[in-house]
Structure formats: C-alpha cells, structure tokens
Amino acid sequence: MNAARVVIAIDGPAASGKSSTAQWVADRLGVRHVDSGALYRALTAAALRAAGDPGAWTEADVLRHAGRVALAPTGRSFEAVIDGAPAGDEIRTPEVTRHVSLVAGMPGVRAWVNDRVRAAARDHDVVVDGR
C-alpha cells in the first residue's frame, strides 16, 4: 500500500499571487510546486507554434497538441515542457498571454490539465496552484 501523499491546492483569480504563495509553501514543506497555469500556457504555446488563427481554434484543434506538452519534475517544482524541451519564457510571451484564456476555458483542456496535475500528485507530495 502506498503512503498517503501531501496535496495542497491554492486557487484564486489571475495575478493574485497563487504561484508565489504556492512556491513559498512548497519550499517550506519540502515538497514540489505544480503550476497548473504553466500547462495551459504551454498548450497554448504549442498550438501557436502550429499557426492558424487562434480565434478559430476548437477544443479538438488545441488538444491535438496535448501530446507535445508535459510536466517534468525539476528541483522543488515541475516545469512545463513542449516537444521535450523546457517551455521557459515562451509561455510568458504577450502572444501566449493573449490567447491562454481561450484555451483555459475549454472543458476538455481543463480535464487534460487536471489529469496531468493528478498524475504528478500520484508520485510526489505537491502544492498546486490553479485556475
């Protein structure tokens, strides 16, 4: 039988300090931080790389790129990875920021992000911040 995992979720509106607070709590507890917003941003960036008009994207169009995006454990957190490489600053660009709300509002995308976060929490103690 597996030992119970520590999973703490911090929710709130955009730009409310969720990530900073979650990272602080994770550091204090010695567990990993999961930024679910980074997954939404990484999926948005992956879809933008493929071009097309974001205004015409369907949920299926966006989810077609889900296999290119993952969470990878690094130090005391998880980082978003696109096509096997750290997403880095690409997920914080103005273009990604402009379109991430559209992507995050798609129910199938939200389910995909939640599945990725749950998978991370199965094997690690985590503090998750989310939308």
Q: What is the pTM of this model?
A: 0.91
Q: Is the pLDDT of residue 15 over 80?
A: no
CB 27 within 8 A of CB 121: no
pLDDT tens readout for residues 32-65: 999 999 999 999 999 999 977 899 999 999 999 9
Spans of all domains in the chain: 7-129
Q: Which pLDDT score, from 0 to 100, does residue 1 have?
A: 42
Whole-angstrom distance, CA of residue 37 vs CA of residue 53: 22
Assigned token pair, 53: 């008009």
Class of domain 7-129: alpha beta
Assigned token pair, 13: 């509106």
Whole-angstrom distance, CA of residue 17 vs CA of residue 98: 19
pLDDT tens readout for residues 69-119: 999 999 889 999 999 999 999 999 999 999 999 999 999 999 999 999 999
